[in-house]
C-alpha cells in the first residue's frame, strides 16, 4: 500500500477516492482556507442548497421523462 499523497501547502484539499486511497486531483490554489473557490461552494453547501439542487434534478428528470412519453 503506497503512502497517501498529501496536497502541497496552499493547494486545494478536495479529495477523491475512498478510505485508504485518496487523491487530491485539484491543482487550484486554496486562497481562504482548505479549498479553492469552486470546491468550497460544494463542500460548504447548506442543507437548503442541497435540497434545492436535488429538487432541480428531480424537475429536470421529470421533464425528460415527459418528453420521452410524448415522443
Ligand atoms: Zn479545488
Phi and psi, residue 57, nearest 5°: -60, -45
What are the C-alpha distances in Å from 37 to residues 13, 17, 44, 63? 12, 21, 11, 31
Indicate the domain borders of the chain.
45-70
| DSSP structure string for 35-67 | S-HHHHHHHT--HHHHHHHHHHHHHHHHHHHHH
pLDDT per residue as tens digits for the range 13-63: 999 988 778 889 999 999 888 999 999 988 888 889 889 989 999 999 999
Q: How far is the CA of 69 from the centre of ligand 1 (A)?
A: 40
What residues have their beta carbon closer than 5 A to ion ligand 1? 12, 14, 26, 28, 36, 39
* Band (11; pLDDT cuts 50, 70, 90): very high
Amino acid at each position: 500500500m503506497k503512502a497517501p499523497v498529501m496536497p502541497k501547502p496552499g493547494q486545494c484539499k478536495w479529495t477523491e477516492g475512498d478510505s485508504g486511497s485518496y487523491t487530491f486531483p485539484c491543482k487550484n490554489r486554496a486562497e481562504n482556507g482548505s479549498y479553492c473557490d469552486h470546491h468550497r461552494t460544494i463542500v460548504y453547501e447548506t442543507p437548503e442548497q442541497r435540497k434545492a439542487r436535488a429538487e432541480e434534478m428531480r424537475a429536470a428528470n421529470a421533464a425528460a421523462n415527459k418528453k420521452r412519453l410524448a415522443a
